[in-house]
Structure 1
Amino acid sequence: MRAEGLNGQAVGAGVVASLVGWTSSFAVVLTGLRQVGASEAEAASGLLVVSVLMGLGSLLFSWRTRMPVTLAWSTPGAALLAGAARPDGGYAAAVGAFVVAALLYLLTALVRPLGHWVQQIPASLANAMLAGVLLTLCVEPFRALAADWTAVAPVLATWLVLTWLAPRYATPAAFVAAVVVITATGALGELGARDLVPQVTWTTPHADLAAAVAIGLPLYLVTMTSQNIPGVAVLASFGYRAPLRGVLAYAGLTGAATAGAGGYSVNLAAISAALSAGPPAGPDPQRRWVAGVSNGVTAVVLGVAASAVATVAVAAPEGVLETVAGVALLGTFGASAAAALADPDQREAAAVTFVVAASGFALGGVGAAFWSLVAGGLVLAVTRFRPGPRSA
């Protein structure tokens, strides 16, 4: 009976972690894929694929390691896509960049020093790049409010009330409010059963150097620094040794195979991992792996709903989906900005990284995310070798 109780608690924790994580950030995934050129069908396919990949990965690694290993799609990576310029080669070039990121994950799994080098990137610069990218998304709810307050105000009001009462469910509640708004417009009445059936749409990857540098490399870096490395730390805080190399190999192989269907990136879960690996999954750490399994099964089930969710999002009045995505990222933006500017010795470099990333600056077809790291690294090098009192 005691073991069954623990299993039940772990199952519940895994289901909640998956539901909250999925509903809190699916809008970011759809927005990101559409920004880099995906059609509505291609974006829905991507949401389906990454849901299934992270679900199967969670189930596989939790079962084999007997640890609560949970995978997630890269929300910072999706935010990066949402702030990126559409490649000249269109969505096919973006898909080629997804393959580049996947191969870098695989290379990191095979070449141990590469992961060490990634960790040498100053955390202040990585966080500043992410915060700069997120800023452009987090202001969208307020722009949308000015453009159409009747559609956006109910979503923001719902989010604000739930932020006060139950912060974990604030973003899912905002999406529910968005569905109510869409229903009130009558747009859902035009949908047919075919629109709700999950479908995989394939786009052949196109090799494009500019897209690889502007999208593929930053996608790899932001996922490693904002998801995989913190994910290892979260599991370690509960006494588990994360199978990072195995997860990276899985992300690389599956990412390269499914990029054409929209599988842009999966990785170790970071924030949501605490629900499956911590006390909410039961008092016995050796039984919490069950939460990872239930988390994975739930993600696969949610993936089946991807087409329906994407179809509802398409029917939304302009700005509503962007509002849901924006409020979902406010917490991540605040944490990234605070971490970026925390170190006074690197604050100038982080500030430059932040403003370049937020500026939308592009050069040679390469977007702001890449150039922000270049600019911040240059300023950091200059400030580190600034002449001291003796030289002056």
Structure 2
Amino acid sequence: MEITKRGLIEPGPGIGAGFRDLAASFNLKTGSAGLVAAIFGCSGPALIVIGAAEGGNLTDGQTVAWLLAIYGFGGLISLVMALYYKMPITGAYSIPGAALVAGSLTVFPFDQAVGAFIMAGVIVLILGVTGLIGKVMRWLPMPIVMAMIAGALIRFGIGAVNAVSALPIVVGAAVVAFFLSMRFLKVVPPVLSALVVGLVAVALTGSFGTNEAGISFVLPEFTAPSFSFDAFLAIAVPLAILVVGAENAQATGVLLAEKYDAPVNAMTVVSGIGGILAGLLGGHNANIAGPMTAICSSDQAGERREGRYAATIVNGVLFAGFGVFAGALVPLILMLPGPLIGAVAGLAMINVLVMAFQAAFNRDSGYQVGAFVALIIAMANVSILGISAPFWALLVGAVVSLLVENQRPVGKPAAVSTGKPA
């Protein structure tokens, strides 16, 4: 498969076709994968945003507005992209971006940060409408992209192992249920079995957390943006790079690994629009999500690839609902133990990681050295000049491969390796 050269916005089956086939595509597996992705995105990442808001001395209303922006528009992105392309292109927001903003709010007043959020969306939109991202992705060798995906997502697998030591009975029961279900209960999604058994174990052991989120049900309070050059350099530019170089790159690689013809330009354009709209409400960016696209596009969302977009629809509805009722739901969702959430998300990534490793290190691909460099940079999760590891993994891996392997003539699109000898 190749990323083919098409128009500015790649054509898809259309929203009508997405609605028409949705009922036939929805099943227990798509529903459970969408639920797991939503729980993952509405728990730990929400806590990062809440912590950033507290560090910036935001009011409860401003915090709720921030959550409404990123979850509401993130869910809307899922619904639009999944229905139009009939692919599990899942929207959310940049989790590393939230961490970046957390540090910036100690320096910049929130109105300047909001202005920078909007400017970041404009940058991403420009990258999409110019078609630059599509051109870059056509140049990148797919083994290197797959190695970046493996390195970026391996933390979820490692997190599942660490979660066992953090909460042995609960997480151990969930892990055992996952593999037993995979072996003996073909009609039940293993990830759903893990989640249900884990929740039962939580109830039996009394491992639910306490309500410490500090947010009651309040109306959102919107902040008028102001624009400064310092905030543009410190927040807007790094945030835009994170969205494109981390979230969109991961999502694109995951979709390609699952043999989807990823609409790269459209994914970038919608991430730019999502960034602008979320910024207007006081949120840092709504965009295509890497990890949740991985969960919704994996075989845990069903054997039929063409039907897995239903998992993204489920995720989108739950995400948007979470944004609308954030003031009431955040304290409840954060009562779930973090190790269980991390373990279930890690289990859902297993087959995605296996396919990424196979595609990255196919012995006949000619990109093994570059792929290995991309893998270890992504695994190291380094941040240089405010830019996160996935961007550097792609850049350095491609440069190293060009220097020492030089397998692909300039301008030739990079094919996706299947992991099988030719």
1:304 to 306, 321, 338: 321
Distance 2:119 2:186 in 1: 39
Contact 2:367/2:401 (8 A) holds in 1: yes
> Compared with structure 1, are the counterparts of its residues 129 and 305 closer, same or farther at alpha carbon in structure 2 (3 Å cutoff)?
same
Instruction: State the TM-score, normalizing by the size of structure 1.
Output: 0.67
Distance 2:34 2:164 in 1: 25
1:244-323 to structure 2, matched below 5 A, reads 248-259=268-279, 260-261=282-283, 263-266=285-288, 272=296, 296=313, 299-300=316-317, 303-305=320-322, 307=326, 310-317=330-337, 319-323=339-343
> Compared with structure 1, are the counterparts of its residues 208 and 356 closer, same or farther at alpha carbon in structure 2 (3 Å cutoff)?
farther
Question: Do residues 172 (structure 1) and 192 (structure 2) align?
Answer: yes
The CA deviation string for residues 224-253 of structure 1, in whole angstroms up to 9 with x for no partner, is 44435876998987xxxx977566433321
Question: Do residues 154 (structure 1) and 173 (structure 2) align?
Answer: yes
Aligned to 1:22: 34
Aligned to 1:3: none
Contact 1:98/1:256 (8 A) holds in 2: yes
Aligned to 2:418: none
Question: Do residues 219 (structure 1) and 243 (structure 2) align?
Answer: yes
1:110 to 124, 129, 137: 129
The CA deviation string for residues 65-94 of structure 1, in whole angstroms up to 9 with x for no partner, is 7x746642269x65x679x88864269799
Aligned to 1:53: 73
Question: Do residues 332 (structure 1) and 352 (structure 2) align?
Answer: yes
Q: How far did residue 124 of structure 1 move?
A: 2.3
Distance 1:94 1:180 in 2: 42
Aligned to 2:369: 348
Question: Do residues 163 (structure 1) and 163 (structure 2) align?
Answer: no
Distance 1:211 1:155 in 2: 39
Distance 1:129 1:96 in 2: 32
**How large is the Cα RMSD of the aligned pairs?**
5.1
> Compared with structure 1, are the counterparts of its residues 231 and 368 closer, same or farther at alpha carbon in structure 2 (3 Å cutoff)?
closer
> Compared with structure 1, are the counterparts of its residues 21 and 371 closer, same or farther at alpha carbon in structure 2 (3 Å cutoff)?
same
The CA deviation string for residues 139-198 of structure 1, in whole angstroms up to 9 with x for no partner, is 112122123312321221222223332487222333333333433354659669x97969
Q: Secondary structure at the match of 2:200?
A: helix
Structure 2: state its 5+ residue gaps. 1-17, 55-59, 408-422
Q: How far did residue 114 of structure 1 move?
A: 4.2
Distance 1:160 1:358 in 2: 26
> Compared with structure 1, are the counterparts of its residues 126 and 147 closer, same or farther at alpha carbon in structure 2 (3 Å cutoff)?
same
Distance 2:245 2:317 in 1: 26
Contact 1:73/1:267 (8 A) holds in 2: yes
Aligned to 1:371: 392
Instruction: State the TM-score, normalizing by the size of structure 2.
Output: 0.63
Distance 1:166 1:95 in 2: 48
Range moving further from structure 2, 132-141 or 325-334: 325-334
> Compared with structure 1, are the counterparts of its residues 214 and 122 closer, same or farther at alpha carbon in structure 2 (3 Å cutoff)?
farther
Q: How far did residue 354 of structure 1 move?
A: 1.0
Question: Do residues 73 (structure 1) and 94 (structure 2) align?
Answer: no
Aligned to 1:31: 44
Contact 1:352/1:372 (8 A) holds in 2: yes
Q: Aligned AA for 1:348? A: V
2:104 to 79, 82, 89: 89
Question: Do residues 137 (structure 1) and 156 (structure 2) align?
Answer: yes
Distance 2:342 2:126 in 1: 34
Q: Secondary structure at the match of 2:367?
A: helix
Distance 1:55 1:129 in 2: 26
Range moving further from structure 2, 177-186 or 47-56: 47-56
Q: Aligned AA for 2:150? A: A
Distance 1:340 1:333 in 2: 10
Q: Secondary structure at the match of 2:90?
A: strand
Aligned to 1:128: 147
The CA deviation string for residues 371-390 of structure 1, in whole angstroms up to 9 with x for no partner, is 3334323322320469xxxx
The CA deviation string for residues 267-319 of structure 1, in whole angstroms up to 9 with x for no partner, is 7968857989x6976xxxxxxxxx87x97588335632564765444223452
Range moving further from structure 2, 352-361 or 171-180: 171-180
Distance 1:95 1:43 in 2: 12
Structure 1: state its 5+ residue gaps. 1-5, 282-290, 387-392
Q: Which has the higher helix share?
A: 1
Q: Aligned AA for 1:261? A: G
> Compared with structure 1, are the counterparts of its residues 217 and 336 closer, same or farther at alpha carbon in structure 2 (3 Å cutoff)?
farther
